[in-house]
Amino acid sequence: MAVGVFDSGLGGLTVLDAVSKRLPDVPFVYFGDNKHAPYGVRDADDIYNLTCAATERLWDAGCNLVILACNTASAAALRRMQESWVPRDKRVLGVFVPLIEALTERRWGDNSPPREVAVKHVALFATPATVRSRAFQRELAFRAIGVDVEAQACGGLVDAIEEGDMILAEALVRSHVDALKRKMPEPQAAILGCTHYPLMEEVFQDALGPDVSVYSQASLVAESLADYLKRHPTMIGSGTESMFLTTGDPRRVSDRATQFLRRKITFTAA
Residues recognised as catalytic = 70, 194
- Rounded distance between C-alpha atoms, residue 175 and residue 258, angstroms: 28
Within 41-198, strands assigned E span 63-68, 91-94, 115-116, 121-126, 144-145, 148-153, 189-192
Measured CA to CA, the distance from residue 121 to residue 190 in angstroms comes to 9
Burial of 256 (0-12, 13-18, 19+ CB in 10 A): buried
Q: CA 33 → CA 12, 39, 46, 168, 266, distances in Å? A: 11, 9, 13, 23, 15
Angle, helix 13-22 to helix 217-231, in steps of 10 degrees: 50
CB 125 within 8 A of CB 176: yes
